[in-house]
Chain A
Amino acid sequence: MKQAEGALVRLLGVTRRRRFDILSLKAFPAAEAGFYDVQMTVRADRSGSSFVRQIEKLVEVSDVEVIELTDPAETARAAHSGT
C-alpha cells in the first residue's frame, strides 16, 4: 500500500471496525519506492474473504495477497453440506 498520510491507520481502523482481531502486524518499506509491504494476521468469526474485499476498497491499497485463509463461514458450510 501507498505510504500516504494516515494509510496504515486507515488499514488498522478498517480491521477493527469490521471486527477482526490483529494477531500480528509487520509494515516495512516495499521494493517500490513510496509503498509499504504490510503483513497482517487476523482472526474473526466472520468470512475472511469479505474482509479482503473491504481492504481492497482502500484507495491506498494496490494489491492484497491472501497467504492462508481459514474461513469459519466456509468451514461451517462445508460441514453442513457433508463435503
Chain B
Amino acid sequence: MKGAEFLVKALEREGVEIIFGYPGGAIMPVYDALLDSKIRHILVRHEQAAALAADGYARATGKVGVCMATSGPGATNLVTGIANAYMDSVPMVAITGQVPTHLMGTDAFQEVDIFGITLPVVKHSFLVQTSEELPRVVHEAFQIARSGRPGPVLIDLPKNVAAGSADFAYHDNEFDEHPPVPHAGSLAQAAELINASRRPIVYAGGGVGMACAVDEFREFIERTRIPVVSTLKGLGAIPTEHELFLGMMGMHGTKAANYAVQACDLLICVGARFDDRATGKLSGFAPHAKVVHMDVDPSEIGKLRHADAPVAGNLRWALVALARDLEITAWQRHCLALKESHAWNYDAPGPGVYAPFFLKRLSQLAGKNVIVACDVGQHQMWVAQHFDFCRPEQHLSSGGLGTMGFGLPAAIGAQLACPDSCVINVSGDGSMMMNLQELATLRRYDLPVKIVLFDNRALGMVRQWQELFHSRRYSEVDLSDNPDFVQVAESMRIPAIRVEQQKDVEWSVRRLLSEPGPVLAHVLIHQEANVWPIVGPGMTNSEMLDEVPS
C-alpha cells in the first residue's frame, strides 16, 4: 500500500469525515488517494481558509479539525490558521506536503521548513521521514491534538514517503487521554476558600466547554449560586440569559461584570488564563480577591496571577468535588442590582442602524439552534455583548490571536459540522475582505450561512483606538473605497440585501433568517460608532469609559 493510501485510511480510522484543503505538487499523492475515500474534501480558495474552516469545525463539534495543503506557499498559508488554533487551544491536525527527502535542505521548488516555522505555534509536530513512521505519527497526532489542553499538530509529509509503498499496520497504543484527577490537598484548599468567602465570583473561560464540563459547571453554579462572569470564549458556559450571569468581563465587558470582579473577595477561575483582554491592568485586577484557579494545564496556573488554591487537572471532577451550598445572599443581591442598574440600552441614537439593537433582534429571532462565527473588531465585541448563547460551542470567535478573516471560513466549517443549525457569520468590512474569496466556497457547497456584514467604511476598532488614545490622529483606517458588497455577493450567485435604516432592521433580520440558502446582509452603520464600555490601555477594569473624553 502506498503511504498516501495508508494516510487516508488512517484518517478514516481516526473518525475524520471532512478535510479542508487545497492541492498542489507535493501533496498530490494524498489527493489521488482521497478519490477512493469516503472522506469528504472541501476545496477552499485560500489555504488560510482551510485552516480556519478546520478550526470552526473543531470549535462547533469538539472533534479534531483537519486541514491539508501542499508544500511551500501552501504550507505557509496555513500558518495563521494554525496559530489561531494554538492561541485558542483548538484541536486540529494540519497535514502539509513536503518536497522529497533527498531534496530537503536544498532550497528546492516550493520547499519551506514548515516544521521549523510552526514550532512556536503548534502543540506538537512531526516530520515523517520514512513510511514505517506513518501509522504511529497519525495516531499520535490525533491523540495529542485532542488530549489535555487541545491544540494544533502538524504532520509534514515528504512526497516520496507519500508515494512510496510499504506494509502498514494501524497503530493502537494505550494512551490515557483523561486528564489527571486534581490533588486532594488542592481541592481541600479550594473548598476552604470557597466556604470562607462572602463575595465570590466565578470567572469562566473557554476551558469549560473544551473540557466538556458544561453540565458540571452549571450544577456547580446552581448549587453554590455564585454569580458568574466570563471571558469571550467562556460565553455560553452558562446561558447568557441566566439570572446569575453578569456578562463578559474585561476590556469591553459589562459594567456589572467588571465592578463585581473588582469587589469580590474570592475569584474562582475555571478554565481561563487571566488574559490581558479580560484582566485589564493586571496589578489592579480583582484587588481584594484570593484566587482558586482550576485548569487542565498546570502551566497556566500562577503564570500571571498567584493562585491561593491551584487546582490542576480534570475540571469535571473538580467542579463536582467543590459544589456546595453557600450563604451569600447579600452578595447575590448586590450583583443582581449591579446587573439591573447597568443593563444595556437599545435606543438607537439616530435613524441609522444601531448595531447592538440589530444583533439583539437577530439573537431573539434566530432561535436556540444557532451558531455565530464572528470576525474580529467592533462587531465581534457587539456580538459578545448582545447576542445570547446557550452553549459555548455556539459562539465561534477568534480570541487569543484575533484573526481578521476568521469568521467566514469558520462559519463554513461550522455549517458542514452542523448542517441542521442556523449558522450566522457576523463580520465587518475590514474582516470580510480578508477571506472574501470564500464566498465562492459557500456557493460551491450550497452552505446556507447567513452573513451579517456591518460596514462602517473603516477599520473600526483601530479607528476607535486612534480616536480615544491617539488624539484622533487617524492612520490608515479609511475603507471608504470598499466594493459594493451586495454586487460582490451577487456576482458569486449569493443573494444579498442592503440595510441602511433602523426602521429596516426587523424585516431585514426576518428576511435573512428565512432565506433557505446562503445570503448576505450588507448593513451600513455610522462610521464613528464605538464599542462601549472600554477599558483603555494601562487602566484597571474599574476605569471603564462609556463616552469619548472631552
Contact = CB atoms under 8 A, between A and B. Distances in A.
A50 B116 contact: no
A62 interface: no
Would you call the interface of chain A mostly helix, strand, loop, or mixed? helix
Nearest to B144: A59
Given A13-B119, A50-B302, A50-B303, A5 B297 contact: no
Contacts of A50: 299, 302-303
A59 B129 CA distance: 18
B299 A53 contact: yes
A58 to B, nearest CB: 8
A63 B245 CA distance: 42
Contact of A6 (B116, B123, B299, B302): B116
A75 interface: no
Contacts of B123: 59
B465 interface: no
Interface string A1-32: 00001100110010001000000000000000
A48 to B, nearest CB: 11
Interface residues of B, number: 17
B302 A59 contact: no
A5 B124 contact: no
Contacts of B129: 5
A49 B126 CA distance: 28
B298 interface: yes
Contacts of B302: 47, 49-50
Nearest to B125: A6
Given A5-B129, A6-B125, A59-B144, A13 B120 contact: yes
Interface of B: 115-116, 119-120, 123-127, 129, 144, 297-299, 302-303, 306
26 contacts: A5-B115, A5-B126, A5-B127, A6-B115, A6-B116, A6-B119, A6-B125, A6-B127, A9-B116, A9-B119, A10-B119, A13-B119, A17-B120, A47-B302, A50-B299, A50-B302, A53-B298, A53-B299, A54-B299, A56-B298, A56-B299, A57-B297, A57-B299, A59-B123, A59-B124, A59-B144
